[in-house]
Amino acid sequence: MASLVRLQNEIERIKEEYFTRNRIAEENRQRENEAAILIQSWFRGCQVRSYLSHLHRKATIIQKIWRGFTARAHFRQMVKAAYFIMKMNFYHEMSVRIQQRWRGYCVRKYSHNYYARKRYMEGLARKNKQIRRDLEEFSEFQRRERERMAMEREEQEKNVQAQRMHFLLSTKQCPGVFNSPFRPGPDEMELRLRRTKPLPPRNIPRDRASLLGNTSPSSPSFPGVPRAFGAKPLPPIPSKKPQGPFRGPAEVWAQRQRGLEPSLRVQTSISDLEQAQDQLRSGEWRNHTMETMFQPFSKAHQNRSYERMLHTSSSFQPVPYGTKHFREEHQENLQGKQKTASVRVPHE
Amino acid sequence: MSQRQVLQGVMSLLRPLLLDVVPTIQQTAALALGRLASYNEDLAEAVVKGDILPQLIYSLAEQNRFYKKAAAFVLRAVAKHSPALAHAVVDCGALDALVISLEEFDPDVKEAAAWALGYIARHNANLSQEVVDAGAVPLLVLCIQEPEVALKRIAASALSDIAKHSPELAQTVVDTGAIAHLAQMILNPDAKLKRQVFSALSQISKHSVDLAEMVVEAEIFPAVLACLRDPDEYVRKNVTTLMREITKHTPELSQMIVNTGGVAAVIDYLGDSHGNVRLPGIMMLGYVAAHSENLAMAVIVSKGVPQLAICLSEEPEEHIKAATAWAFGQIGRHTPEHARAVATANVLPSLLALYMDTDSSEDLQVKVGS
């Protein structure tokens, strides 16, 4: 009971406190609610976060392991590929070397000989030089020939001029045109005039008598033909044949120039007899076969000793040693053959 | 009086003189006609229109040799101006008469007839074919063997004019054995004859490889190189033309020419000559170098590159510069060695200058650019 009375005393206080507390709680409800929510949310958040971080950690571990696995696989792949590439490069290198050698060998053997080409080029250079030299010589030679011909022609012309102007030669009394007394020496034309022979005077009327003797007008010794010095002989002038039964100039010349015909007595030489005897003698000497002269009544032939023939006197004869035998070698040829009867020659 | 009337008057005056009794008057009238016709194309046309040619051709067969010479001179004078006039001459039946007069004994008549045939054949391939169909080629080859130098000259030039148009015509000329006779005349001292001979050989060899080989088989090399030092300029030019036509076909022919030292001779020729006549020499070097790198190296070894550089710098003409640029291209294109040889000659700056120069022609620029 005491507690009950105490409690009933307390009821007011308790009610008041209840109300106060409810009022306070009501007043703080919002705030406390929010605070509780905050705390709960924060706690939940912590939970979730820890859960998440746990998950993260685990996921990270899984991923880490997985990545490592794939990366290692990939790496293996890469290593294999790199190895393969290295091998291939090596093969390529080596095959390049082989191909180089082989190509060099092929080209050198079959298609392109470097040394032959070099030799060819050197030979070509030499040949070119030689051709150039030859052509130079040739053109030099031609040039000299041309100059020489030109000079000769000039000389000829000047000589012809000198011959025709021979009358301008200076005499003792009167100096010529080219030999003026005021000059230190005579002109070259003057010297040429002195050197050349003048043209002989031309005889213009040519009668028939001289025509007949005119068989070879081109001969230089013929006096009837006046020619310039150095000029070529002129062709024969085709003269009209004289009318009438005249013989040609060659025939007449032959007749007029008939040669000597001596008689037989004159023809024979003074030593004809001796010559004839000599001829006979030499003919006999040539043709005789017997060398010994015929000497009758002389005993010269008796004193001669006998000369052996060379054929029998020399020892160099074919010796049938080993080839010819006295007795038959092959016995079968002797089958049925009788022995020859030996002939006994009685001794005297 | 106008020109035409004057011409007609002249023709009507001369035509009756051709039929005169006195042979000297006939000959002189024909000579006068020939000189008139050769001076001017209108006069030649007037000769054709005045119906004088048939009369001339008819009497070509009958009269004496002076008349034949004068008549052939008239035909040549008319035919030389244009293909139409040459056709008119051929239509009158001149070819048969000319071929008949080629068989004459007198060398002057043969010369005039050969000259007329040469002028007819010069214009185009049809006319050449007609000349060949008339049977002129064997007679011309016979004319070449005659001792007179003038006749040889004209016959060689006629053969050259016939052979230049087409390969078939050149083959016809070769079939009559012309090459051997032409080759014999290479070392003849007469310069004009040599011009014609080399021109004939080059016209023959330019058409095909076979013809060029036949020309080479006549053993003209190395005697031809001696003619490269001839004092006459056109002989040298024709020799280089011949060598160019031979080398352009195949590497073997070029090789043969290089082996006989032809390249060195041509390079010296380029050094000695000036102007347009250098062109065939430059082209020959280009053709030789184009075939293979061996031959290009041979050109370089023979000291061709400095000479070509001199040509490039000296010559003012566009087409010669273009040809030289082309030749350099052919030499340098084979291997780096060749390009180095070209470059060390200090050629590239001048080539570049030519390329940049706006004045130089299209052709030159294209050739330099390649």
- The Cα of A130 is separated from the nearest Cα of chain B by a number of Å equal to 9
Using a CB–CB cutoff of 8 Å, tell me whether B225 touches chain A.
yes
Residue A201 has what pLDDT?
75
Q: Could you tell me if B279 and A101 are in contact, meaning their C-beta atoms sit under 8 angstroms apart?
A: no
Residue B75 has what pLDDT?
92
Q: Could you tell me if B136 and B179 are in contact, meaning their C-beta atoms sit under 8 angstroms apart?
A: no
Mutation site for A-interface testing, chosen from B302, B334, B337 by largest number of A Cβ within 10 Å: B302
Q: Could you tell me if A328 and A334 are in contact, meaning their C-beta atoms sit under 8 angstroms apart?
A: yes
Report which of B239, B268, B174 is spatially closest to residue B213, judged by C-alpha positions: B174
Tell if the CB–CB gap between B263 and A128 is shorter than 8 Å: yes
| CA distance linking residue B116 with residue B96, whole number of Å | 12
Alpha helices in B19-147 (DSSP H): 23-39, 41-49, 52-60, 65-79, 83-91, 94-101, 107-122, 125-133, 136-144
pTM of the model: 0.65
| CA distance linking residue A32 with residue B64, whole number of Å | 160
Residue A228 has what pLDDT?
59
Q: Could you tell me if B256 and B212 are in contact, meaning their C-beta atoms sit under 8 angstroms apart?
A: no
The two tokens of residue B333 are 């294109």
Using a CB–CB cutoff of 8 Å, tell me whether A183 touches chain B.
no
Q: Using H for helix, E for strand and C for coil, what is the string for A224-293?
A: CCCCCCCCCCCCCCCCCCCCCCCCCHHHHHHHHCCCCCCCHHHHCCCCHHHHHHHHHHHHHHHHCCCCCC
pLDDT band at B115 (very low <50, low <70, confident <90, very high): very high
Using a CB–CB cutoff of 8 Å, tell me whether B226 touches chain A.
yes
Report which of B281, B277, B282, B293 is spatially closest to residue B333, judged by C-alpha positions: B293
Report which of B114, B208, B108 is spatially closest to residue B161, judged by C-alpha positions: B114
Tell if the CB–CB gap between B268 and A132 is shorter than 8 Å: yes
- C-alpha dihedral (B122, B126, B128, B132), degrees to nearest 10: -170
Choose the closest CB to A128 out of B222, B228, B302.
B302
| CA distance linking residue A8 with residue B249, whole number of Å | 146
Tell if the CB–CB gap between A127 and B263 is shorter than 8 Å: no
| CA distance linking residue A70 with residue A63, whole number of Å | 10
Report which of B257, B319, B254, B264 is spatially closest to residue B293, judged by C-alpha positions: B254
Number of residues in chain B: 370
Q: What is the pLDDT of residues A92-140, one digit of tens each?
A: 999 999 999 999 888 888 877 788 889 999 999 999 999 999 999 999 9
Neighbours of B97 (CB within 10 A): 23
Tell if the CB–CB gap between A124 and B265 is shorter than 8 Å: no
| CA distance linking residue A305 with residue B51, whole number of Å | 119
Q: What is the pLDDT of residues A1-51, one digit of tens each?
A: 788 888 888 777 878 888 888 888 788 888 888 888 888 888 888 899 999
Report which of B116, B115, B128 is spatially closest to residue B169, judged by C-alpha positions: B128
Tell if the CB–CB gap between A130 and B225 is shorter than 8 Å: no
Letter for the amino acid at A208? R
Q: Residue B121: which residues within 8 A CB-CB, separation 6 or more?
A: B127, B128, B131, B158, B161, B162
Under 8 Å CB pairs connecting chains A and B tally to: 44
Q: Using H for helix, E for strand and C for coil, what is the string for A101-149?
A: HHHHHHHHHHHCCHHHHHHHHHHHHHHHHHHHHHHHHHHHHHHHHHHHH
Q: What is the pLDDT of residues A128-175, one digit of tens each?
A: 999 999 999 999 999 999 999 999 999 999 999 888 888 888 888 888
**Does residue A306 surpass a pLDDT of 70?**
yes
CA distances (Å), origin B12, targets B78, B118, B198: 17, 29, 44
CA distances (Å), origin B74, targets A242, A277, B39, B78: 43, 87, 11, 6
pLDDT band at A307 (very low <50, low <70, confident <90, very high): confident
Choose the closest CB to A138 out of B229, B263, B298.
B229
pLDDT band at B73 (very low <50, low <70, confident <90, very high): very high
Tell if the CB–CB gap between B261 and A117 is shorter than 8 Å: no
Tokens 């003797």 locate to: A213
- The Cα of B108 is separated from the nearest Cα of chain A by a number of Å equal to 23
- What single DSSP character describes residue A321? T
Choose the closest CB to B301 out of A124, A130, A138.
A124
Tell if the CB–CB gap between B265 and A135 is shorter than 8 Å: yes
Residue B363 has what pLDDT?
58
Mean pLDDT of chain A: 82
**Does residue A326 surpass a pLDDT of 90?**
no
Nearest C-alpha in B relative to A114: B294
CA distances (Å), origin B30, targets A138, A239, B22, B25, B93: 47, 34, 13, 8, 18
| CA distance linking residue B308 with residue B263, whole number of Å | 12
Residue B364 has what pLDDT?
56
Euclidean distance between the first and final Cα of chain A, in Å? 226
Q: Contacts of residue A124 in chain B, CB cutoff 8 Å?
A: 258-259, 298, 301-302
Residue A299 sits at φ, ψ, to 5 deg, of -100, 25
Lowest mean pLDDT among A94-98, B251-255, B270-274, B366-370: B366-370
> Beta strands of B164-246 (E only): which ranges?
none
Lowest mean pLDDT among A162-166, A302-306, B36-40: A302-306
Using a CB–CB cutoff of 8 Å, tell me whether A127 touches chain B.
yes
Show which of residues 281-340 on chain B sit within 8 Å of chain A, judged by CB atoms.
294, 297-298, 301-302
Q: What is the pLDDT of residues A45-101, one digit of tens each?
A: 889 999 999 999 999 999 999 999 999 999 999 999 999 999 999 999 999 999 999
| CA distance linking residue A250 with residue B202, whole number of Å | 56
Residue B63 sits at φ, ψ, to 5 deg, of -80, 180
The two tokens of residue B93 are 């039946």
Q: Contacts of residue A135 in chain B, CB cutoff 8 Å?
A: 225-226, 228-229, 265, 268
Choose the closest CB to A135 out of B228, B259, B297.
B228
Residue A219 has what pLDDT?
46
> Beta strands of B116-208 (E only): which ranges?
none
Q: Residue B370: which residues within 8 A CB-CB, separation 6 or more?
A: B326, B329
Using a CB–CB cutoff of 8 Å, tell me whether A150 touches chain B.
no
| CA distance linking residue B185 with residue B144, whole number of Å | 9
Residue A342 has what pLDDT?
73
Report which of B131, B19, B35 is spatially closest to residue B74, judged by C-alpha positions: B35
Nearest C-alpha in A relative to B265: A132
ipTM metric: 0.81
